[in-house]
Chain A
Amino acid sequence: MIPTFGFMTLALGFLLTVYGIGVLIWGVIKKSQACIESARLAMLLIFPLVSLSIIAMVILLLGNHFEVVYVYQVTDQSMPAYLRLTALWGGQSGSLLFWSWLLAGVSMAFSIPKRRQTSGIFPWAGLVLFTTLCFFLAMNLFIDNPFESFWRQADGSWVISMFQPSGGWALLPENGQGLNPLLRHSGMILHPPALYLGFVGFAVPFALSIGSLASGRKDRRWLELARPWMLVAWVFLSLGLVLGMRWAYDVLGWGGYWGWDPVEVSALMPWLSATALMHTGILQGRRDGYKRWNVFLVALTFCLVIFSVFVTRSGIISSVHAFTESDVAIPLLLLLIILMLGSIGLLVFRWRDLQGTHEPRFGFNREVLMLLTDLVLLSILAVCFLGVVYPLGSELFTGSKMTVGETWYERITGPLFFLLLLLMGICPLAAWGSVNFKRIKRRILILIPISLIFPFLIWLLNVKDVLASFVLWLAGLGGLVIVSEFILVVRRAIRQSSGEGLHGLWRFIRHQTRQVGGLIIHLGIILLGIGIIGIEGLQQETQVALSLGESTSLGGYQFTYDGLELYTTDEEVEITEAVLTVTRDGKDVGTLYPQKQLYASLNQSIMQPGIKSTLAVDLYAVMINGDALTEEKAAFAIYVNPLVTWLWIGAAVLTAGTVVAALQEQKQVRLPNQT
């Protein structure tokens, strides 16, 4: 009953996409506003329909409807309500439905303002969104249907199908398999929705650019309309990536946060091209140029989004956290090809229209630095792409399959990421036009002595790594440049608003949101970079078996094993918790509680690390060799991760910066149609 309802609403949504595609094409050919308006209304209806599907799925998940295969796979009776809700995106078919739902939501939000259909962009942009939605809903319906159930047949066998087979009756398993223990973590609540929102968010900028190209507009109206979407999608994508790192760090227990797995890399790729797009987007806002470049970048970003979905779900590229193989590979590939050929074709077709008059001047100025930033970002992107397809390519060309690992990525992208960090520190010093080198010199001479505090602080951390200290010093100097720029902006604001008091200051800042927001975002990324350098460059680790009361020392800390504690949680998880007391120079620092969690119903156990975080250092311990674990003796992998907390702080700062930057975007879009 409920599965059928969910399936039917989904099917209606799918039919509406087909209707929308047809009526839009007809409307464009016949120049019929009525047809286009009808398509817009159809678009508004899809999201409510898919929402009904989602509600049906949530009811099934919350209500122990184990006759539904998906519910059986991802929930069991002992799971609390919030976990059942996150089970919506805990498995392949559910998460694909969730994807479609978000995409429908974004498409609806885009289609609400009626005025947009008159700008000439809507029919084509709508067509892009309808087509993408059509593909995803079709996959939900025909290939990876989350509403399929188990049925018992007359001869005693059982089948999986959407509708009741003749002579069959419903089969209700007593209990489900339950969500994979590794996914039962707060990071899993937020990581997939944030990442997916970031992904689908780029559908709109892409649709706008295609709409603008197809309708023959030569202005940058599409970019202005797209910018708030780009900002929001970008920040969600960033958050999705960082939350995924946090989840890996908290759950997987190998002391790291990022493993350069193809799935991770493929999620990073659209972020890189989107970041490049944000930079040249600013340039196009100031100059009569970069039109082709930005159209290319927005198309690249959305194609990479689809590519990422393809890598995650097709099973073509082997990865530790790819989904089970399913047949979505072909439709996804088809969609990717359509999007790619469509955008390339349009870009070539309109090539002359996108001619700009502006030529950048070579030298030390912001424009050149931003172009260099783009070049570095796209180089990292190319390296990532190469790494993902390397196994396929090498098999094709050399016959033997070769893959690349963490070391490969780190050695190549390390210097490039470092260059980005440098550029972020240098860029605020450069001006748009000619540069006053005297002033820069004065500023640097003030900042360098202050920046020496960073190597000093690192020295306090007991770290003797010269290279890492040097890199951290430069990163810190870059951060100081950004902070000083920030102070200059505020000081200028105070000067200009003299007499108007705080109100005037606020107004000035409001006018500068793009600049202020940008500075905060870059500061966030530098902080994030400091966290990454800390854990990548300065991590210390040891593996040790400790008897009761025995200690080991690492990075100046003493870790003492003080026994086990056993208990069972409300979710029927049997916990074996080790107590590791940490001291430094005889002084108590804290206690780590690494756990072994046994999910008896799944016959699966996982190791949860015990972590103690401070701004300077994370102490991280995870039990190993859980089978031989006794009160008398336990084995641990212990990590000392300097500075890693700054990774999470940086992400928070970056988010705040994006919010500030988005404040003005709102205002800008409300301006009348210029250009």
Chain B
Amino acid sequence: MTASGSTRRKSNRLKFIIGGLLFIAAVIVMIVSVSQATAEFFMTVQELLESEKDLAGQNLRISGAVIGESIVYDPASGWLSFTIAHIPGDEDEIEGLGGLSEVLHQAVNDPDNPRLAVRYEGAAPEMLRDEAQAVLTGTLEADGTFIVEELLLKCPSKYEDAIPEQVGE
């Protein structure tokens, strides 16, 4: 191999390295900038209410138990409002308290439990009902109302209940 051949090989390799690094750098820049703009703080209702940080304008994601009687849909304005009750954010803690459905049941029926009023522009999804778990993405208004952008309710396979109701009679 001549000297010029080896330099050519080196510069060839350099082009790959520079090209690859530029691409990766571009992807990283994109990830960082989009993350700053859209990442959400995952909080429980209690954490949200007790937070001393300024949460206005932040993207928040909260989880809570839906209080059935609070669900109101106003067809004229198209706004849906309801209240959620605090549930622990930690899966292990939920398990320790007797599982998700038990925690949801307790949360709704305990009047001392922290509660949060939320509003959503859109009609009630079918799964929105008493003691459903709602995962809400949105922002906190100045008056303390949570404006929901994305509404998720726990669905399919979670409904597997280990304990049969018929059993026992």
Q: A-side interface residues toward B, CB under 8 Å?
A: 69, 72-73, 91-92, 150, 158, 160, 171, 173-175, 177, 180, 182-183, 252, 315-316, 318, 320-325, 359-362, 372, 375, 379, 382-383, 386, 390-391, 394, 400-408, 411-412, 415-416, 543, 545, 596, 605-607, 624-628, 635, 637
How far does the alpha carbon of A416 sit from the alpha carbon of B27 in the complex, in Å? 9
In the complex, 25 of the A-B residue pairs with CB atoms within 8 angstroms, ordered by the A residue number, are A150-B167, A160-B162, A180-B159, A183-B156, A316-B91, A318-B63, A324-B160, A362-B12, A372-B23, A379-B23, A379-B24, A383-B27, A390-B39, A404-B35, A405-B40, A408-B38, A411-B30, A411-B34, A411-B37, A412-B27, A412-B30, A543-B122, A606-B126, A624-B123, A627-B124
Which of B14-22, B106-114, B139-147 is near enough to bind chain A? B14-22
List CB contacts (< 8 Å) of B87-110 with chain A.
Answer: 89, 91, 95
Q: A69-B162, A150-B164 given; name 4 further pairs at CB < 8 Å.
A: A379-B27, A403-B42, A403-B61, A411-B30
B161 within 8 A of A: yes
How far does the alpha carbon of A359 sit from the alpha carbon of B16 in the complex, in Å? 11
Q: Which of chain B's residues have a CB closer than 8 A to the CB of A383?
A: 27, 31
Known: A158-B168, A391-B42, A404-B40. A321 touches B156 (CB 8 A): yes
Where chain A touches its partner, the secondary structure class is mixed
List CB contacts (< 8 Å) of B3-47 with chain A.
Answer: 9, 12-13, 15-16, 19-20, 23-24, 27, 30-31, 34-35, 37-43
Q: Which of chain B's residues have a CB closer than 8 A to the CB of A173?
A: 164, 166-167
Give min CB distance, A26 to chain B, whole Å.
Answer: 42
Q: Which of chain A's residues have a CB closer than 8 A to the CB of B40?
A: 402-405
B56 within 8 A of A: no
Give min CB distance, B143 to chain A, whole Å.
Answer: 24
Are the C-beta atoms of B41 and A73 separated by less than 8 Å? no
Q: Which of chain B's residues have a CB closer than 8 A to the CB of A545?
A: 75
Q: Which of chain A's residues have a CB closer than 8 A to the CB of B167?
A: 150, 158, 171, 173
Q: Which of chain B's residues have a CB closer than 8 A to the CB of A325?
A: 91, 95
Q: Which of chain B's residues have a CB closer than 8 A to the CB of A362?
A: 12, 15-16, 19
Contact of B42 among A171, A400, A411 (CB under 8 A): A400
B116 within 8 A of A: no
Are the C-beta atoms of B39 and A400 separated by less than 8 Å? no
In the complex, what residue of chain A is closest to B30 when comparing beta carbons? A412
Q: Which of chain A's residues have a CB closer than 8 A to the CB of B156?
A: 180, 182-183, 321
Q: Which of chain B's residues have a CB closer than 8 A to the CB of A637?
A: 122-123
Q: Which of chain A's residues have a CB closer than 8 A to the CB of B31?
A: 383, 386, 412
Give min CB distance, A599 to chain B, whole Å.
Answer: 12
Are the C-beta atoms of A177 and B42 separated by less than 8 Å? no
In the complex, what residue of chain A is closest to B13 when comparing beta carbons? A359
Q: Which of chain B's residues have a CB closer than 8 A to the CB of A324?
A: 157-158, 160, 162
Give min CB distance, B168 to chain A, whole Å.
Answer: 7
